Structure 1
């Protein structure tokens, strides 16, 4: 099986790390795990974060110019399907639907989203392109229930929708955690991240002094984070920005992850922590609930009081959490889901 892969927001070989790049890399690894040969069809980044109509027109022209050589590459390689990861109104797939039609092969989309409220606004051209990509897909893999609702509401007849659970790009679990401190993992930037840190500070203030916190992360909002944590001096340890190995060490030396999840799409840190068997202290929010081990989480309205109650409640057994991650959120499980979707599209 030979497949074309494309990630319009950020290609998997981009030099700057990010969650989106990691997910693209993970999807390619999962496709290869199921035995496919995967070609990166293009590294064109179509992102327009400013709503600039001129920039959108330029990117659409660049994509059009690339089409003949990509179509020819597809004929030479004998691609059996095209797979696009993360097409949305700020970074639509301007290539895949046209190439798929030209080659007469199935078009599959992973984490495609619809945002019809953007039609007519500064992202109108891109929002229409994102809608066209969703309409063109034979199969759409959705990552969260929130995405599924919009996709199915406007889906063309005969389109298949499959739940691809967010997953870690690994085949097996890391060593279980065995620490005593809480751990927070999050960049110190943007209003939502800062809001989560402030809520963590409020939660810790309601817990006994024996509850200590390590914070993995850094960024331009660190002074505001430190100000929010100031009343808790002596209970906070700042680890700074950590590389992958150091972050693994932090998880293995923690007792639980605390991250409220304000405005999170789903949050890979939840999966990483649970892979170590750590319970999660979070709110019941869209996206977040799609990756958490099933238990009673506080509602959004319960705020710090609810999070403190969750921290004090009996935690699930580490082996149960790890078994849940193995069954649903590791690379082999993702490969099985992707293989099923390709089979629905007639690719085996």
Structure 2
């Protein structure tokens, strides 16, 4: 019998449903979690697709979302009551609870049904307890307090979760993982450099801007393929226009075409400004594509360390530091080949689904043993 055999787990992602039409790392990780649970024998029920997300700190919008969430709590509990006992949810799992997207549903449902409540990737932000997101930040903290277990992806999140841990709450490490048990075909490292990122205002566009500024300072030959699309595409195209045909826009790719892009790449270049961790880094490294990113919290948990730490430049070095590192990596084939082998080994050791499944169920199984 596999770990979750015969148990139903209610799954919820307040930030973005795994069925959301717009691709992102957040959606990909939600899908990966569902695949991991079902692949180990559990039945996963998507409890709600209500998106509880307030980008701007609008309290009127927050009140509307609270009302919708309360309605969903009643709906879910009523539906559960109609289910045969052996088909009812034995555990509730929420992915990504934070001050802009607190879980307003899971804790209430879990209390009413008398089942364990668990979170994966939860962020505590005390500085948001005042200001326009104060009510939502408080709700995110209360939801985190209600969790029997919080699985964290990065050491940065672990530090704040440990600081504000509620009672004897268990904090369990779950490294970000891919939805596969074996490594894919490796790149031959002879193709263009590659960037993969959504094109939207904010940190993503800032990353593209830093990359463009760095490329201006790289004297050696290079070609860049860019995978991604979004509302800021025209801005990204303007940033890259001075490079002419050296930059090719591939648009939004499906999973098969994206795999081909990784297999043809010699290096993934993405600064990663304010990325939580970034699934693209794991995907690229699984293909043996070295990664050039800034030295930032979160990224340190997924990007394989180069032999020379300066090849993961500090943010304060800006575009100049990124350009220096990029120039060195592009002109040293042996360096890229060594890093490619290290990256594949790190993915196999820490970031495949089989590894994640063991870590997830080692914490969940004791909880389920106490659930009828």
Matches within 5 A, 1:185-200: 185-200=196-211
Aligned CA distance change for structure 1 residues 50 and 202 (closer, same or farther; 3 Å): closer
- Structure 1 unaligned residues grouped into runs of 5+: none
In 1, the alpha carbon distance for the partners of 2:54 and 2:117 equals 23
| Deviation, structure 1 residue 201 | 2.5
RMSD: 2.1
Aligned to 2:317: 302
Q: Is the 8 A contact 1:34 1:336 kept in 2?
A: no
Is 1:327 aligned with 2:333? Answer: no
Per mean C-alpha deviation after superposition, the further-off stretch among 276-285 and 294-303 is 294-303
Deviations 1:194-222 (A, max 9, x none): 22223222333333332222222233434
Aligned to 2:283: 272
Aligned CA distance change for structure 1 residues 11 and 208 (closer, same or farther; 3 Å): same
| Deviation, structure 1 residue 83 | 0.5
In 1, the alpha carbon distance for the partners of 2:223 and 2:22 equals 32
Aligned CA distance change for structure 1 residues 225 and 171 (closer, same or farther; 3 Å): same
- Structure 2 unaligned residues grouped into runs of 5+: 1-6, 330-334
- 1:18 paired residue among 8, 21, 24: 24
Is 1:164 aligned with 2:174? Answer: yes
| Deviation, structure 1 residue 346 | 4.8
Aligned to 1:237: 248
In 1, the alpha carbon distance for the partners of 2:130 and 2:212 equals 41
Q: Is the 8 A contact 1:139 1:159 kept in 2?
A: yes
Matches within 5 A, 1:16-165: 16-75=22-81, 76=83, 77-165=87-175
Q: Is the 8 A contact 2:16 2:26 kept in 1?
A: yes
In 1, the alpha carbon distance for the partners of 2:193 and 2:151 equals 34
State TM-score, norm by structure 1.
0.92
In 1, the alpha carbon distance for the partners of 2:260 and 2:277 equals 22
Deviations 1:246-300 (A, max 9, x none): 2221111110101111121111111111111011111101111111113222211
| Deviation, structure 1 residue 155 | 0.8
Aligned to 2:257: 246
| Deviation, structure 1 residue 226 | 3.6
Aligned CA distance change for structure 1 residues 227 and 21 (closer, same or farther; 3 Å): closer
After the TM superposition, which segments of 4 or more aligned residues of structure 1 sit over 6 Å from their partners?
none
Deviations 1:211-254 (A, max 9, x none): 22222223343443344334433432232332322222111111
Aligned CA distance change for structure 1 residues 188 and 58 (closer, same or farther; 3 Å): closer
Aligned to 1:260: 271
| Deviation, structure 1 residue 153 | 0.9
Is 1:281 aligned with 2:287? Answer: no
